[in-house]
Amino acid sequence: MAALSHHHLSSTAPFAFQQAPPQNHSGEPTQHAFYPYTDNGGSTLGISGKTFTVIAGDTRSTSGYNINTRYAPKLYPIGGQGPTHKGSKIVLSVVGFAADGRALQERLDTVVKMYRYQHGCEISVKACAQRLSHILYNKRFFPYYVQAILGGIDEETGEGALYSYDPVGSYEREYCRAAGAAASLIMPFLDNQVNLKNQYEPAAVSGFDKKQLVPQPLERPQVEELVRDAFTSAVERHIEVGDGLQMMFITKEGIEEVYFPLKKD
């Protein structure tokens, strides 16, 4: 049983899933029931621009206070050709229970590949996004315990497209979204820096006359800097985030991957 003791640790750690297995306070012998979920930590985010979408995630995988590995990608190209996903223009990021994340990635990838065999053309991000929602909702009563973000290029406008999901398939198209362990740290930062929340025209007067700045699509260098800042800050304040930052830039040309080391502490 010692071999498995870290599972207990992970389920009692204060930052792990809120729905931990029920704790026993009755004084009876503790039942060692099987709980099919765990939290592997980490964080992801996505931002869409005028001509691109970026999806980013740290590469740390955790079990409770343990670091499983410093390199476990949370970003998966979807579709394209063969096991290397050559030519793919859609990226899925999953954070939460990594085994469910993998299973979800494989299902979506199969669906997208089948779509091309059946229709002779690539699936649109919009259709792929809805399909992902259905996959998640189909397991409504035994959910994939993940927060997913899907990124690509909108077929009709050529702009970046970004969709975010809850574990049971509720989804929304957004300009930016943070997910995972440090979502609560990163999301307000993005609200402020991408959607310009609480930013007003400097010249304006106070009170009701204050004019909210209107968000504009950001350029790639700006976005890359924001992503790096978001993660280096999250690393400082969250123990489950760190080791490496993986970014995937999706343009009409395809996917470009960038890796950036983060602190390993």
Partner 1 sequence: MNHDPVAWGRPRDDIYGSYNPSYLPPTRQPYSSHPPSHPTTHTQSPVVTGTSVLALKFSTGVVIAADNLASYGSLARFTDVKRLRPFNRNAIVGFGGDVSDMQYIDRLLLSLVVQENYAGGGESVTLMNARNLHTYLSKVLYKRRTDFNPLWNALLVGGLDEHQKPFLAYADLLGTTYSAPSLATGFGAHLAQPIMRKVVPDEAAAAKLSKEEAVKTIRECMKVLFYRDARSMNEYSLAVVDVRGVELKEDNKLEAESWAFADQIKGYGTQTV
Residue ranges binding partner 1 (CB under 8 A): 1-6, 31-34, 36-38, 40, 61, 63, 66, 68-72, 97-99, 102-103, 142
| 70 contacts: CB under 8 Å, gap ≥ 6 | 59, 60, 242, 243, 244, 264
Choice between 1 and 203, CB closer to partner 1: 1
Choice between 16 and 98, CB closer to partner 1: 98
| 168 contacts: CB under 8 Å, gap ≥ 6 | 136, 137, 139, 140, 143
CB of 161 to partner 1, least distance (A): 30
β-pairing verdict for 171-173 and 176-180: unpaired
CB of 248 to partner 1, least distance (A): 20
Q: What is the DSSP letter of 13?
A: S
CB of 229 to partner 1, least distance (A): 25
CB of 155 to partner 1, least distance (A): 33
Cα separation of 228 and 82, whole Å? 31
CB-side exposure of 5: number of CA atoms within 13 Å? 3
CB of 202 to partner 1, least distance (A): 46
Choice between 97 and 231, CB closer to partner 1: 97
Choice between 69 and 110, CB closer to partner 1: 69
Choice between 2 and 214, CB closer to partner 1: 2
Q: Indicate the residue type of 28.
A: E
